[in-house]
Structure 1
C-alpha cells in the first residue's frame, strides 16, 4: 500500500462526491477503496485488482471496515464496461500508455487521475478531464513515482555491449544537469527524447550519467554514457547503437531552455485516438507527440 502522504494528493485531485460512480484500477490492500466508499458511497465503487490473492485480502479488509463495494479480479487496463459510465477513475499504479477504455467509460466532464510514467523512474501526477468518448485533456500537479501496471513495466537496463564500437565525443554539458532537473524539463525530454531511461552512478571524483532504451528487452539496444571529472572543461561521451541517446536527451533539454525554461504548470497533455500530445500553455499552441 502506498503511504497516505502519496495517496491523498491523488484523492484530492479526484474530488469524489456522494453518489459518484467510481472505477478504481488496483484495489491493493483496499485502503483507498474504503476511502472512496466513505466519500461517495460503496454502491457506486468498482475496484479491479489483477492479483487474486491481493484481491481476497482486500475484500476481507473492506468487510472488516464495514464496506462492500463492487470488487473484481481482472485486467484493469480494460476497465469495466458493464458498470460504466463512471464519474471518476482512480488509478493506483504507474501508467505509460493511457488506455482508451478508461476515457470511453468515463462520462463527458468526468475525471481520471493517475501517475503518468512515460519514461524512467520519475512519474507525474496527472488529472485528465474527459470531453467525449475518445478525448481527454489534462494538466500536471506534481511528481509521483508508483509501481507500474504489470503489463507496462520496463525490464531493460544499461549495458555497455559492443563498447569497442562506441563513438566518442565531448560535451560542455555537465551530466549532473539531469540528476534533478526541473519537472518541466523532464516533460520535454519525455516528448523529444522518448523511451530513454537514465540514472547517475556518480562518485566523489566523477559525475556520470548512463542512458539506455526503455523498450529494449534484448540487452542489445542503444546506450550512452557521459562522464565528467571535477575541474575538467568538457565531459566525455560514449554512444552506441541506432540511436544517439545522449544527443537526443541533451537536445531536448536545450530546447526546453530555449523556450525560456517553462515551469511545470505551463504544460498539459491531450489524449485522443492518435496518441498522447504534450502542449505548452494551451492545447492549440506548441505541441509534441509523445512516442510511448
Structure 2
C-alpha cells in the first residue's frame, strides 16, 4: 500500500468514526475518488514567519500525503494568483482544497440527488466536482473556475479520473446560463453578496449553498431555497471560513496607511459607549457586520493599557480608533460617519433581540438586496442593498 493509500484509508476511518459520512454515497465517493490524485505535487504550507512555503511531494512524500488527508485542515494549492514573486515563497493564499470535513459538511447541506443538474463555483483542484459527479451522474455537473491554469489542471484531473464534468473558465459570479436551470448551486469560495445570476439560473425549489463572508466575522454557510418568484430564502448552517471570490475580495485593512498624521490631527476626540469586549462574541461580530456590512475592523490585543479597536469604511472616507480604558471608551474619529456609534447601535440591537446566534438569522435575497430577520419575526434586523447586478 502506498503512503497516499494508507493516508486515505486512515482518513476514511477517522471521518466515519466522527459521523461525517451522513449518507452512504458520501463514504463510498470519498473512498473511491482518492483526494491525492487531484492535489498538485507542490502545495503551500504556512510559514511561521508569515506567508507560505512550498512543500514538494518529491522531497517530502510522507508530509505531503499527511497534509492532503488532514481531516480538518484546508490545503493551499496556489499562492499570489499563481505568480509568486519569489520561487517557493508565497505572500497570499489564492486557491485551496477545502478540508475533508468542510467538504462533507457542504455536501450534506447541498443534498444533491441523482440526476440533479449541479453548478459549482470554484473548481479548484476538481476533487469536489468529482464527488458531485459521483452523486449526480455523468454530464450533470458544471464547474466554473476563473483562473485559467487551475481550470486546465482541474479538467485534466477529472478526465484522468473518468469523471464527465464540464469545466468552464470564467467568472463564477456570472453563473453558466447556457446550462441552466440548475437544481443545485454550490460555491467553494465565499461571497459578501449572493450574485443574483445564481438565483436566476436555479430551478424553482433549487438549493444554493455558499459561504457568506462579512468583515467582522469569518462568515457562515448560507443555504437558500429558490422560490418561483425569483427570490431565495434560507438560513445559516454554521460557521465556515473560505477564501472570497476574486471579485469580492476584501482590501486588507492597514490602519498605518489609512490613518495619516494629517488625518489624525483633524480627527474628533470623543467618548463612546461602544463596548469593545462585546465583540469577543463571534455572534455579536456577525450581527454587527449585518448592520454595518461595509465596515472593516482590527481589534488589537491587550498589552497592559487596554485594548484598541480600529474601524474603517470600505470607501476609506471614515474611520475611528476606539480605546478601552478603565474610565470608559475613548475615540478618535474622522470623516462623515461616526463608525463607533454605528457599531454600538448594532450591538444594542443585538442585545434587544435576545443575542441571536449566526444560525438564528433568516435570510431573503431578492434582485434588490438581502434582508436578515431573527427567527420568524417580520421586523428586519438588517437590510443590505447588495452588489449591482452583472
After TM superposition, the score normalised by the length of structure 1 is 0.91
Unaligned runs of 5+ residues in structure 1 are none
Bigger-Rg structure (1/2)? 2
**1:265 matches 2:372:** no
**1:155 matches 2:251:** yes
Separation (CA, whole Å) in 1 of partners of 2:302 and 2:282: 22
Contact 1:124 1:141 in 2 (8 A): yes
> Structure 1 residue aligned with 2:201, among 105, 116, 128?
105
Report 1:74-223 matches (<5 A): 74-132=170-228, 134-155=230-251, 157=253, 158=255, 159-161=258-260, 162-178=263-279, 180-183=280-283, 185-205=284-304, 206-213=306-313, 215-216=314-315, 220-223=316-319
Counterpart of 2:36 in structure 1 is none
Separation (CA, whole Å) in 1 of partners of 2:178 and 2:269: 56
- Structure 1 SS opposite 2:269: strand
Separation (CA, whole Å) in 2 of partners of 1:28 and 1:283: 39
- CA drift at 1:287: 4.5
- CA drift at 1:9: 1.3
Contact 1:106 1:133 in 2 (8 A): no
Unaligned runs of 5+ residues in structure 2 are 1-96
> Structure 2 residue aligned with 1:278, among 372, 376, 388?
372
- CA drift at 1:238: 1.3
Separation (CA, whole Å) in 1 of partners of 2:103 and 2:144: 17
Separation (CA, whole Å) in 1 of partners of 2:232 and 2:116: 19
Separation (CA, whole Å) in 1 of partners of 2:249 and 2:282: 24
Counterpart of 1:71 in structure 2 is 167
Contact 2:215 2:297 in 1 (8 A): no
Equivalenced residue count is: 284
Contact 2:372 2:383 in 1 (8 A): yes
Q: CA offsets per residue over residues 86-124 of structure 1, 9 Å max, x none?
A: 000010111112111111111111100001114345211
Contact 1:120 1:198 in 2 (8 A): yes
After TM superposition, the score normalised by the length of structure 2 is 0.69
Contact 1:197 1:212 in 2 (8 A): yes
Counterpart of 1:14 in structure 2 is 110
Separation (CA, whole Å) in 1 of partners of 2:327 and 2:272: 9
Contact 1:270 1:283 in 2 (8 A): no
Counterpart of 1:228 in structure 2 is 324
- Structure 2 SS opposite 1:155: coil
Separation (CA, whole Å) in 2 of partners of 1:164 and 1:13: 51
Counterpart of 2:19 in structure 1 is none
Counterpart of 2:347 in structure 1 is 253
Aligned-residue CA RMSD in angstroms?
Answer: 1.8
Q: CA offsets per residue over residues 259-289 of structure 1, 9 Å max, x none?
A: 2212333211100122101112127444531
